[in-house]
Amino acid sequence: MSEKTDKTEQQRLSVFKTYKLYVGGKFPRSESGRVYEVTDSKGKWLANAPLSSRKDARDAVVAARKAFGGWSGATAYNRGQILYRVAEMLEGRKDQFVREVADAEGLSKSKAGAVVDATIDRWVWYAGWTDKIAQVVGGGNPVAGPFFNLSTPEPTGVVTVLAPQESSFLGLVSVIAPVIATGNTVIVIASEKSPLPALSLGEVLATSDLPGGVVNVLSGKTAEIAAPLAAHQDVNAIDLAGADDVLAKELEIAAADNLKRVVRPQAVDYSRTPGIERLTAFLETKTVWHPTGALGASGSSY
Amino acid sequence: MASASAFEYAPAPESRSVVDIAPSYGLFIDGEFTEAADGKVFKTVSPSTEEVLSEVAQAGAEDVDRAVKAARRAFEKWSALPGSERAKYLFRIARIIQERSRELAVLETLDNGKPIKETRDADLPLVAAHFFYYAGWADKLDHAGFGANPRPLGVAGQVIPWNFPLLMLAWKIAPALATGNTVVLKPAETTPLSALFFADICRQAGLPKGVVNILPGYGDAGAALVEHPDVNKVAFTGSTAVGKAIARQVAGTDKKVTLELGGKGANIVFDDAPIDQAVEGVVTGIFFNQGQVCCAGSRLLVQESIHDELLDSLKRRLSTLRLGDPLDKNTDIGAINSAEQLSRITSLVEQGEAEGAERWSPACALPSSGYWFAPTLFTNVTQAHTIARDEIFGPVLSVLTFRTPDEAVAKANNSQYGLSAGIWTEKGSRILAVASKLRAGVIWSNTFNKFDPTSPFGGYKESGFGREGGRHGLEAYLDV
């Protein structure tokens, strides 16, 4: 591990971590038994990451669908508490993420530290949105007639997210937090080159009261895993943040098969505070009507 | 159909003289009526009589290009106008629609086949209301919740269906113009006339040339419009199959797209529902506009304990519906929009019988010319039956039963679609619990098929994406 340890205990050999997927609240290896080498920005070997298969992707959809009822049915307050808990857990394991982000993105320790701080703050930001978005984008409509109706946002369902390729942690969190904040469940495909922060995030999520299956993390070849997910009939939406233009077009065409909601790739500066576009992109608006009855034209005369 | 009653209704036809249909119409491009580039024309007929109403220019790809260019030229000035000026144009249009509403109602009934009582009392008031509603947004976009100074997208290509020709035009054009976009709109080939009359309203309102362009035509013109590289926004209302094709076409482009597609709405009647009101709601839900409504309540889910009572009431009520001349003010059920649609309904109904569901219609004499289909019920329907899964888009109701609220929700949600649903119960908590579990964009409790410009409308799942109406409806036309 660190040099200090090496000095005091000359014989100590560090313990490597086996990086695993995070699916349905568990940490399976890829069903295919495959791994691929993950290196740092200078090409030095860091770990073997699971090379997910189509079967892993399908298993993740099953897990995400199973978790959807409970998660979308939880109160917004409860979801906010759990998202905040994730930030708490991240704060406690900051050193690990600073190291992983520094390795993944070739950043100095201080720059990586700033990225991790910003990432934790992003969780906190989204934690605060869970019980506010409905008031911002929903509301009562002034119907011309003896009815009242209310428009309320509801989660779209199971969302596939292709995490940004370059921003392995801040970008990752910026695309998954809004999806789950609004009650959706997610299958995220980690950055192909730098999947380790994402896989470690799974460990944090598993200890943050987040129900298993709400977030599922897959690593491997983005195009290979994304193809069956874009075509999957039980996936309701797809965020193409981590796709290049060619892949994005191909996946958008596949997604049309069951009219998935699609967020196209766009240039995003993840260091800036986001707007609410990624929250609303995975919401449906439900309008419920009811007759009001009438007490007469003039009503009370006080 | 009311032959069983002691007294016949005397005919009460609305006068056709309020509308003057020309023998031929052109495309409306850049403020002028013009022939199609290849000179093609098609005929539009009255579905209730098969009488040819007019001959209309048929747009092709070249015309689409011409219209998009006109809209692009007009966009610069139109989008730069102060919102308050755009608002005034829309208010003018709303007022002219009100002034000419009887004329437009008769025209719509002639061209579409729907009863005059619906065009007069539902379509036209809503058309005017949509223009009024969005007129008021034009100078308030900073306050719409999309940040300061939200920008229009550019040229909107809009393709609308034949079931509510003028209302769908209003849903598309009013928010597009309010937000500063210009439009090229393709009405359906069976109902082009009211859109062409709308072109004349734009002229009366003094709307700048090119802001609104109307291209009657077939699917190929719609496809050319969707594919046109200089169209920034695609809005489509129609079938799910075409919606999917459009979603594929726009993949990999910058075009923003909204789709309002099919539905297979569940109308859920619980055992504590007020039966008479529920029966009225079920009738409105499926027989309004001959069932040619994407949000129609085409699946009746009735709690088992009241099945027989409800069905008796429903059959009795259906026996009093009057089918016939759509221009007669007493007509409840008009003509099916086209021969093609009639054959689609007929074949799905035959399939329902073949699959073992039980078919029932009231005694009903159909006129000898035109396209007609008697109101039809199917009982003994299961979830696997085609008539419980596929959108029929006609006056055909499939009746299923359930025992518990959970079962009702599960069956209602067992559909590729998610546009509308109805809930009938006296118990408020049940309404709210069931409404929150239904995966549909519009839920009517103890009412059905209500529309209002202030209220977002649109579907979950394969019923499409985006919302029309209300503040939400602005988003589709803004760069947000």
CA B13, B18, B24, B28 dihedral sign is negative
Query: Could you give the residue numbers annotated as active site of B?
Result: 260, 294
Report helix, strand or coil for A194: coil
User: Which residue in B240, B441, B465 is closest to A287 by CB distance?
Assistant: B441
CA distance A241 to chain B (A): 13
Are β-strands B442-445 and B420-424 bridged in parallel, bridged antiparallel, or unpaired?
Answer: parallel
Averaged pLDDT for residues B241-260: 98
Residue A2 has pLDDT above 60, yes or no: no
CA distance B380 to chain A (A): 29
Angle at B240 between CA A162 and CA A263, to 5 degrees: 20
Pick the residue of A132, A287, A292 with the most B CBs within 10 A to test the interface with B by mutation. Answer: A287
Q: Decide if B145 and A275 are in contact by the 8 Å CB cutoff.
A: no
The pLDDT assigned to B2 comes to 47
Averaged pLDDT for residues B248-260: 98
Q: Decide if A252 and B440 are in contact by the 8 Å CB cutoff.
A: no
CA distance A177 to chain B (A): 20
Chain segment B415-454, per-residue pLDDT in tens:
999 999 999 999 999 999 999 999 999 999 999 999 999 9
Chain segment B160-174, per-residue pLDDT in tens:
999 999 999 999 999
Distances (CA, A) of B58 to B70, B89, B354: 18, 28, 39
Q: Which amino acid is at B283?
A: V
Q: Decide if A284 and B460 are in contact by the 8 Å CB cutoff.
A: yes
The pLDDT assigned to A300 comes to 60
The pLDDT assigned to B7 comes to 79
The pLDDT assigned to B312 comes to 98
Are β-strands B376-379 and B396-402 bridged in parallel, bridged antiparallel, or unpaired?
Answer: parallel
Contacts A253 to B, Cβ<8 Å: 248, 251-252
Report the percentage of chain B scoring pLDDT > 90: 98
Chain segment B192-231, per-residue pLDDT in tens:
999 999 999 999 999 999 999 999 999 999 999 999 999 9
Residue A1 has pLDDT above 70, yes or no: no
Report the percentage of chain A scoring pLDDT > 70: 94
Tokens standing for residue B346: 């007929």
CA distance A273 to chain B (A): 14
User: Which residue in B147, B447, B461 is closest to A147 by CB distance?
Assistant: B447
Residue A6 has pLDDT above 60, yes or no: no
The pLDDT assigned to A9 comes to 59
Q: Which amino acid is at B463?
A: S
Gyration radius of chain A's alpha carbons: 22
Tokens standing for residue A179: 């999806």
ipTM: 0.94
Contacts B450 to A, Cβ<8 Å: 143, 145, 147, 289
Query: Other C-beta atoms within 10 Å of A92: how many?
Result: 11
Distance, in Å, from the CA atom of B11 to the CA atom of B67, rounded to the nearest integer, reads 44
Residue tagged 């649903």 (tokens): B421
Distance, in Å, from the CA atom of B256 to the CA atom of B74, rounded to the nearest integer, reads 20
What value does the mean pLDDT of chain A take?
95
Residue B175 has pLDDT above 50, yes or no: yes
The pLDDT assigned to B476 comes to 97
The pLDDT assigned to A5 comes to 55
Polymer length in residues for chain B: 480
The alpha carbon of B33 is separated from its chain's Cα centroid by a whole number of angstroms, namely 26
Distance, in Å, from the CA atom of B64 to the CA atom of B11, rounded to the nearest integer, reads 44
User: Which residue in B462, B470, B472 is closest to A259 by CB distance?
Assistant: B462
Residue tagged 């959807």 (tokens): A68
Distance, in Å, from the CA atom of A51 to the CA atom of A73, rounded to the nearest integer, reads 33
Distance, in Å, from the CA atom of B454 to the CA atom of B469, rounded to the nearest integer, reads 6
Are the CB atoms for B269 and B424 separated by under 8 Å? yes
Chain segment B81-124, per-residue pLDDT in tens:
999 999 999 999 999 999 999 999 999 999 999 999 999 999 99
- Under DSSP, the state recorded for B356 is T
Chain segment B15-30, per-residue pLDDT in tens:
999 999 999 999 999 9
Q: Report the interhelical angle of A76-92 vs A109-127 (nearest 10°).
A: 160
Are the CB atoms for B184 and B156 separated by under 8 Å? yes
The answer for A104, left when phi > 0, alpha when psi is -120 to 50, beta otherwise, is: alpha
Query: Other C-beta atoms within 10 Å of B31: how many?
Result: 18
Report the percentage of chain B scoring pLDDT > 70: 99
Q: Decide if A289 and B465 are in contact by the 8 Å CB cutoff.
A: no
Distance, in Å, from the CA atom of B103 to the CA atom of A220, rounded to the nearest integer, reads 64
Chain segment A91-136, per-residue pLDDT in tens:
999 999 999 999 999 999 999 999 999 999 999 999 999 999 999 9
What backbone phi and psi angles, to 5 degrees, belong to B144?
A: -85, 0
Interface of A with B (CB under 8 A): 136-137, 141-145, 147, 149, 151, 156, 236, 245, 248-249, 252-253, 255-259, 261, 275, 277, 284-291
Residue B368 has pLDDT above 90, yes or no: yes
Chain segment A191-249, per-residue pLDDT in tens:
999 999 999 999 999 999 999 999 999 999 999 999 999 999 999 999 999 999 999 99
Distances (CA, A) of B424 to A181, B381, B415, B420, B444: 32, 20, 20, 14, 9
Distance, in Å, from the CA atom of B469 to the CA atom of B180, rounded to the nearest integer, reads 16
Q: What is the secondary structure of B399-439 as a DSSP string?
A: EEEESSHHHHHHHHH-SSEESEEEEE-S-HHHHHHHHHH--
Q: Decide if A252 and B252 are in contact by the 8 Å CB cutoff.
A: yes
Q: Decide if B455 and A248 are in contact by the 8 Å CB cutoff.
A: no
What value does the mean pLDDT of chain B take?
97
Q: Which residues contact A112 (CB under 8 A, 6 or more apart)?
A: A98, A99, A101, A102, A105
**Alpha helices in A150-241, H assignment, sequence order:** 170-181, 196-206, 222-231
Task: List B236's β-bridge partners, or say none.
Answer: B159, B259
Are β-strands B420-424 and B266-269 bridged in parallel, bridged antiparallel, or unpaired?
Answer: parallel
Q: Would you give the end-to-end CA distance of chain A in angstroms?
A: 78
Residue A158 has pLDDT above 60, yes or no: yes
Report helix, strand or coil for B336: coil
Distances (CA, A) of B342 to A102, A124, B252, B362: 66, 57, 37, 18
Tell me which residue of B159, B147, B217, B153 sits closest to B184, measured CA to CA: B159
Contacts B458 to A, Cβ<8 Å: 285
Contacts B461 to A, Cβ<8 Å: 236, 258-259
Averaged pLDDT for residues A182-196: 98
Residue A302 has pLDDT above 90, yes or no: no
Chain segment A30-79, per-residue pLDDT in tens:
999 999 999 999 999 999 999 999 999 999 999 999 999 999 999 999 99
The pLDDT assigned to B174 comes to 98
